[in-house]
Amino acid sequence: MSLNPRLALGVLALGLAALPALALPEVPLQLPANPLSQDHPGNAVWQEFLKANPGSRILDWDRFHPAPHRALLQGVKLPGGDLVDVRDLENRLRSRLADHRELLPTGELELLYGGLHDRLWVARFRETWAGLPVFGSEVEFRVSPQGALLMLGSDAGLLDAVRGDIRGEDALLDAVRNQVSDLHPGSHIDSHGLIWLPAWQDNRWIHRAALEVEVQPLDHEHNWRAWYSTEDGELLWCYDQVRHVTLNGQVNVLAQPVSQNDSEILMPARHLALDVSGQSVFTDSLGQFTAEVQGAGPWFISGEFLGRWANVNRSDGSDAFFVWETADAQNLVMGSEAHIAERDAYVHTNIVHDFIKGLDPGFTGQDAPMGVNVNIGQTCNAFYNPGGNTINFFSAGGGCPNTAQVAGVLYHEYGHGINHRQYQQAGASQGMINGAMHEGLADVNAVFIQDVNFVSPGWSLRAVENSRHYPENITGEVHADGEIIGGAMWDLRQAIGLEPAQHLYHFARWGAPDDVDTGRAFFEYFVEVLLADDDNGDLGDQTPHWQEIDESFNAHGIGSVLTWSMSSFVLHQPPLQIPPDVELQMEASGDLPAFLADADVFLNFRQAGGEWQQLPMLSDGGDVWSVQLPGFEETPWVEVYASLVNGDQSELFSPVGGAEGAWHFAVSSQPLPLLDFESDDAGLSDAQGLWQHGTPLSGPFNAFSGENVWA
């Protein structure tokens, strides 16, 4: 996880006594403006580095930090050959940091996480001060097994002014517990210790010592993570970790095995815990088991919907329990004695667990029984709660099905658990924060299991085959916004096939791409997908699916075009008419990030429907490009537009649309016949009545000159 401190933590004046009785307040993060300054203090150092390492590129850098947020590297090797283990990785990276402090200025660093996943080493360090971690102040590295440094990124180096008492943890924790216990009796409160929390105040960064706590009320409908100032008990930041799904219902739902209307079939009771005549055993993925027993039988075998990876509980009654007396233990069926919601929930929870473990045995975040609560006395919803690592499903009613019977919804909710636990395993203690990422990747989890383009068959909740585009389709509603990242991943599945897309979807998460800014979170995930796709430790030759990844994400505005499209680029409008054989100076200007300054700029032109021609435009050394158009013979019009092309051959046009929106000007020695809409119709009124010249019956409220129009 990387929280760019430019996305500052807002300060809300709520002391301990001000908490409302029903819930902790959601305290949001405040976002200051973030233009990239051309005179950034780190630019000179990094420009020298880029010259020394051709092919390396800075992807993201803001005005606050002394080093880039994300940079892809080429030709940068850690000394020592192939990496051996995490200790070897850490030692080499620390040595590199010590030798190049001017590139990555930081304070003391602790290793949060290091691990080899598929073909990529992931390393994440966190800055500390006075023995406490600095929230969001992390340094990221991605390294090939051969020791090639492929990516680095830093959110560190901002620590300046600090406030708070780092000795007041116990007293503050007691105060928080007392207050929360008064408001929510029986709540479980865990302390995660003290941390330096950044805040943007008075146009500078202040880091405040804060106590991080997790609050789990008895109703399990909330799981708050909150930070309190050690200075005055002020609540600095709080959010609810419970993730809900809103079901837009119609009675046409998923059931066993795909939709609610399917016939019930026998499916393996995977990973089920059994008591076989006093011996505890588990079934395998086919529902088979082996047990050592005495005597000739029959034997008593018992079990419930409890196993290695799932623990199903009915909220409306007793859990089903089965006892068989059998001589051969074959064809044991957990059938209609149990509610259908219990049966479906157990089967599909194990299917999704085996899916993710099949992709990555190294992911252990869900290797414990997931709490699966069914038949909750509400309707039309389901949710994941990280506090107890539970997925929760509501009863049928209100035009909605029993949500435990909709396989795609269960895969979605379990997907939230994967997001949360994988990020924690990767060193992001809060799990995944961004709501749109959470929802979008949970949708991807569901559709990649079922290989369908929407969530889910029989009940169309959300489509991943869509044209939703960042930023214009951002609504602030996380499920809708998540369709953007879901759409990009579905397009990628269509482009490269299901299995490669499944692989990239999962392994990209080991980089813990995340941010409270949704665009940046999506872009970080895009970068991690590219890195997960690399197969030789050399980004200079791109990756096996580089083009398909970029095109899929660009189709939704969150690939390389995201940085590119934020740039300002304008071709200045030519005069309406020029004389024949007169050269015309054309200029374009832009406000581009420093790392795009080497882009190629062209002027495209043609005469009266002829062939398009192209001239390179020359830079003045800044952000202005110009070219001299040759003189033309008399012609009704000349069309012109400018194109700016970056290293990935992504184009930016001015006017927007390129050839379709090109500027026009006439080449003539005679004055253009311009009409003023007033004196007469100049014979232009249409005899059939399609175009008429006259005074409109009503007009705009603004005052314009003249009275007549063509309409």
SS3 519: helix
pLDDT of residue 96: 94
For residues 678 and 77, the model is more confident at 77
Inform me whether the pLDDT recorded for 34 exceeds 60. no
Given 2.30.40.10, 3.40.50.300, 1.20.140.10, 2.60.40.10, which CATH number is that of 567-667? 2.60.40.10
pTM: 0.73
Close Cβ partners of 414 (under 8 Å, ≥ 6 residues apart): 349, 352, 353, 366, 370, 384, 391, 445
pLDDT at 622: 77
| CATH number for domain 242-416, candidates 3.30.70, 3.10.170, 1.10.150, 3.30.390 | 3.10.170
Q: Check: CB of residue 637 under 8 Å from CB of residue 666.
A: yes
Nearest CA among 344, 308, 431, 388 for reference residue 3 = 431
Band the pLDDT of 694: cuts 50, 70, 90: confident
What is the mean pLDDT of the segment spanning 128-136? 93
Task: Give the model's pLDDT for residue 246.
Answer: 40
| Token pair listed for 76 | 């940068």
Instruction: Kindly list the distances between the CA atom of residue 690 and the CA atoms of 146, 497, 674, 684, 710, in Å, as whole numbers in the listed order.
Output: 72, 53, 21, 11, 10
Mean local confidence (pLDDT), 466-472: 91
Checking if the pLDDT of 14 tops 70, the result is: no
Give the separation between CA 532 and CA 528, rounded to whole angstroms. 6
CATH 3.10.170 domain range(s) in the chain: 242-416
Confidence of residue 647 (pLDDT cuts 50, 70, 90): low
Residue type, 466: N
Q: How many CB atoms lie within 10 A of CB 379?
A: 17
Among 63-67, 444-448, 497-501, the minimum mean pLDDT is found in: 63-67
What local confidence, expressed as pLDDT, does residue 697 receive? 64
Rounded to 5°, angle at Cα 440 from 410 and 241? 70
Predicted local distance difference test score (pLDDT) of residue 593: 60
User: How far is the C-alpha of 473 from the C-alpha of 453, rounded, in Å?
Assistant: 19
Q: Where in the chain is the domain with CATH 2.60.40.10?
A: 567-667
Q: What are the C-alpha distances in Å from 314 to residues 245, 259, 294, 399, 527?
A: 20, 21, 35, 21, 42
Contact assessment for residue 566 and residue 590, using Cβ atoms and an 8 Å cutoff: no
Rounded Cα gap, residues 351 and 285, in angstroms: 9
Does residue 32 or residue 647 have the better pLDDT?
647
Mean pLDDT of 49-77: 90
Name the least confident of 35-39, 82-86, 435-439, 501-505: 35-39
DSSP codes of every residue in 192-230: EEEEEEEEEETTEEEEEEEEEEEEE-TT-S--EEEEEET
List the structure tokens of 557: 């505005």
The pLDDT confidence band at residue 259, using thresholds 50, 70 and 90, is: low
* pLDDT for residue 23 is more than 60: no
Convert the pLDDT of each residue in 200-210 to its tens digit.
888 788 899 99
What is the reported pLDDT for 7? 26
Residue 124 has, within 13 A of its CA and on its CB side, a CA count of 22
Tell whether the model's pLDDT for residue 650 goes beyond 80: no
pLDDT band at 290 (very low <50, low <70, confident <90, very high): confident
Q: What is the mean pLDDT of residues 555-571?
A: 78
Averaged over 697-703, what is the pLDDT? 54
Instruction: Tell me which of 318 and 12 has the higher pLDDT.
Output: 318
pLDDT of residue 41: 58
Euclidean distance between CA atoms 88 and 81, whole angstroms: 11
Q: Are 259 and 402 in contact (CB under 8 A)?
A: no
Is the distance from CB of 235 to CB of 368 less than 8 angstroms? no
Note the pLDDT of residue 687: 56
Query: Does position 685 have pLDDT exceeding 70, yes or no?
Result: no
- The whole-angstrom separation of Cα 663 and Cα 578 is 14
pLDDT digits (tens, 9 = 90+) for 542-562: 999 999 999 999 999 899 877
Q: Are 461 and 440 in contact (CB under 8 A)?
A: no
- Asked if pLDDT for residue 63 goes beyond 80, the answer is no
Q: What is the pLDDT of residue 609?
A: 80
pLDDT > 90 fraction of the chain, expressed in percent and rounded: 56
CA 691 to chain centre: 52
pLDDT value, residue 249: 35
pLDDT at 219: 78
All residues at 6 or more sequence positions from 395 whose CB lies less than 8 Å from its CB, including other chains: 316, 375, 376, 377, 378, 379, 402
Output the pLDDT for position 209: 93
The owner of tokens 């009409």 is: 675
State the pLDDT confidence band at 347, using cuts at 50, 70 and 90.
Answer: very high
Residue 389: how many other CB atoms lie within 10 Å: 16
Q: What is the pLDDT of residue 591?
A: 74
pLDDT score, position 374: 98
Query: Which among 158, 226, 233, 217 has a CA at the least distance from the CA of 430?
Result: 226
Output 652 or 244, whichever has higher pLDDT: 652
What are the pLDDT digits (tens) for 618-629? 988 778 999 999
C-alpha 393/C-alpha 260 separation (Å) is 15
| Per-chain mean pLDDT for the chain | 85
DSSP annotation of 396 reads S
pLDDT in tens, 221-240: 788 899 999 988 888 998 88
- What mean pLDDT is predicted for residues 102-121? 95
Q: List the structure tokens of 103.
A: 């590139």
pLDDT for position 592:
67
